[in-house]
Amino acid sequence: MALFTDESSEMGGSTRRRGGRKGWIVLAVALVAGVSLGIVPSPYVIEQPGPVFNTLGTAPNADDVETPLIQIDGEPVYPTKGTLDLLTVSLFGNQENRPGWLAVAAAWLDPSKAVIPVDQAFPANVTTEQRDTQNQTAMVNSQQDAIAAALTNLDYEYPSTVTVADVPDGSPAAELLVVGDVVTSVDGTTVGNITELRAALQVLGADAPVSVGIIRDGVALTESVTPIVNAGNVVLGISVTTNYEFPFTVKLELDRVGGPSAGMMFALGIIDKLTPGELQGGARVAGTGTIDQTGAVGPIGGIQQKLYGATDAGASWFLAPADNCDEVTGHIPDGLTVFSVATLDDALAALDVIRTGGDPESLPSCPTK
């Protein structure tokens, strides 16, 4: 019996040792797999909430000096309180440095982040320099449109012109239009801003030549250009900027952000500074949306990340473009009330409700579910 007991005990110990070795092997394999997943680049990048800037406050300029985001000279400016926050989205990763699979998996589980194909964020046929230039041009144009929208809303009068900023190779306007040309008309329809140019082209359609009236070096000319359809819009294949002659100086300072999505919040900030009192009653309000000279508010990207960015910054109120409501519904963080705005007047009405303590349900909103 003693022999049997000893052998049995020895065999059990051997089994445990073999089981222990297998456990360590499994653990080692799992650790190697985990490390590999963390290192091996994925074909994705991650969108996440970026910095928040109060248009009524200051931000570091290119020299890291705190500078007011909105500076107005030549017109009375009134004190403001609270915030009118513009929101940004930052990207983690690019074509050269893509996030690993573990980071992507964590982002999939985080409602404040979004995982998108790297080629969608960084198209292979667009260089980093071209992308940065496009974003910066969009920001400059949106800032000018924000000033125009605010001054139009306040009944200031000013002239404007549309100027060619870039003519890419292969464009239907190549060798016909050049940088610096001032576009004055399309098939006889006068255009004084980008909105009017787009509207005229949409009416005319693509694939048939149109007469484009321009002023080049002070000389009036006409060129025949055949528009094309790009992303559902009829275009001449050029980048343009609207040049406004405002009755006083409005300078918008935001060096490290690109794209057009800050337009509406800049317009509201300008109006707040040019009018007595506080538009939002001193509350913390955040929002996003493009804007044009007429005050029309347009959709933007990364709306869900901006909702969480607003909450993280302490905002209780959010102004969202009406055309983004389908992306907002079901993704509103707790404690955040979202107004749906299609125009600058809609946004001002929402701020009035916040200021006066009115009923938020009296205005359009993005459903919570």
- Residue length of the chain: 369
Q: What band does 4 get if pLDDT is binned at 50, 70 and 90?
A: very low
Q: Where is pLDDT greater, at 8 or 239? A: 239
**Is residue 334 predicted with pLDDT exceeding 60?**
yes
Instruction: For residue 260, give every residue at least 6 positions away whose Cβ sits within 8 Å of its Cβ, in sequence order, or none.
Output: 138, 139, 141, 142, 145, 290, 298, 300
- Say if residue 41's pLDDT is above 80: yes
Tokens of 366: 């993005």
The predicted-structure confidence for 52-85, as pLDDT tens digits, reads as follows 999 999 988 878 889 999 999 999 999 999 999 9
Higher pLDDT, 282 or 39: 282
Q: What is the pLDDT of residues 169-211, one digit of tens each?
A: 889 999 999 999 999 999 999 998 888 999 999 999 998 999 9
Average pLDDT over residues 289-316: 95
Name the CATH superfamily for 160-244.
PDZ domain (2.30.42.10)
Q: What is the pLDDT of residue 343?
A: 97
Pick the range with the lowest mean pLDDT from 30-39, 113-122, 124-133: 30-39
- pLDDT single digits (tens) 243-261: 899 999 999 988 667 778 8
Q: For domain 49-88+127-153+246-362, which CATH number applies: 3.30.230, 1.10.3470, 3.40.1130, 1.10.4100?
A: 3.30.230
Rounded to whole angstroms, the Cα distance separating 234 from 228 reads 6
Residue 34 banded pLDDT, cuts 50, 70, 90: low
